[in-house]
């Protein structure tokens, strides 16, 4: 499997490119906002886009979609999740050559948030960052996010975490490290504790010297 994390500008955004080395087919994830950087990464990879997937609809992840609707060879690229073409309500699997790609619904940050699992790599969008989690606006969304994160923590501890923004101390992590270090993940046994931390995050960060 070919895997690239792409610095895509904006607010330390990351786009991702996943390719099958044998067939050269590729999936592009969240190609925004810096479409130039994303185009260069595709160009140097020699891969042919087959699918374009958004982890969620937010503009900083999806504004570049228009630039990647057609592959280098002129074939249409199938848009997943951010259009009604394929909407992810239940877990959905697609094949990229021999690689199985799992699309896992993880509502919370937005109702349409998904995580994408390819081999032992999990692309988490704005659901889970290194040491942090995605923002929510109300208790109902926080409850959804709480359940989604609990579901993700059932994955194998060596699963790698590849977030939608470089907000942590390093650009990627593992389920095991998040269980040990992420203060929100440590509170997944009790929703009140989890919600308390969301509501007091600014003060908590200051008190613990986090950035
Ligand atoms: Zn977002």
- Tell me the pTM: 0.95
Interval between CA 183 and ligand 1 midpoint (Å): 20
pLDDT tens for each residue of 67-115: 999 999 999 999 988 765 566 778 889 999 999 999 999 999 999 999 9
For residue 125, give both structure tokens.
Answer: 């969008």
For residue 44, give both structure tokens.
Answer: 């140097």
Domain 2-207: which topology?
Metallo-beta-lactamase; Chain A (3.60.15)
Which residue is listed with tokens 């020699």?
A: 46
Which residue is listed with tokens 């080395």?
A: 21
pLDDT tens for each residue of 131-166: 999 999 999 999 999 999 999 999 999 999 999 999
pLDDT tens for each residue of 3-45: 999 999 999 999 999 999 999 999 999 999 999 999 999 999 9
b/e map 4-41, b = 16+ CB within 10 Å:
bbbebbbeebbbbbbbbeeeebbbbbbbbbbbebbeeb
Interval between CA 98 and ligand 1 midpoint (Å): 30
**What mean pLDDT is reported for the chain?**
95
Interval between CA 34 and ligand 1 midpoint (Å): 16
Torsion sign across C-alpha atoms 143, 146, 152, 153 = negative
b/e map 178-206, b = 16+ CB within 10 Å:
beeebbbbebbeeeeebbeebeebeeeee
Q: Tell me how far apart the terminal alpha carbons of the chain are, to the nearest angstrom.
A: 34
Q: Residue 83 has what pLDDT?
A: 61
Interval between CA 159 and ligand 1 midpoint (Å): 22
Answer for the pair 45, 4: CB distance below 8 angstroms, yes or no: yes
Interval between CA 60 and ligand 1 midpoint (Å): 7
């Amino acid at each position: 499997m070919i895997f690239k994390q792409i610095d895509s500008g904006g607010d330390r955004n990351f786009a991702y490119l996943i390719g099958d080395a044998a067939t050269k087919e590729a999936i592009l994830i969240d190609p925004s906002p810096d479409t130039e950087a994303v185009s260069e990464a595709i160009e140097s990879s020699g891969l042919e886009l087959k699918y374009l997937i958004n982890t969620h609809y937010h503009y900083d992840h999806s504004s570049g979609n228009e630039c990647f609707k057609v592959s280098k060879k002129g074939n249409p690229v199938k848009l997943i999740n951010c259009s009604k073409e394929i909407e992810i309500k239940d877990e959905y699997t697609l094949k990229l050559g021999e690689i199985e790609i799992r699309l896992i619904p993880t509502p919370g940050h937005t109702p349409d948030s998904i995580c994408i699992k390819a081999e032992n790599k999990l692309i988490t969008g704005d659901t889970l960052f290194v040491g942090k989690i995605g923002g929510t606006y109300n208790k109902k969304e926080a409850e959804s996010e709480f359940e989604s994160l609990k579901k993700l923590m059932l994955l194998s501890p060596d699963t790698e975490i590849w977030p939608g923004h470089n907000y942590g101390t390093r650009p990627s992590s593992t389920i095991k490290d998040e269980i040990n270090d992420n203060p929100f993940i440590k509170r997944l046994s009790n929703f009140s504790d989890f919600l308390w931390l969301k509501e007091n995050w600014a003060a908590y960060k200051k008190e613990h010297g986090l950035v």
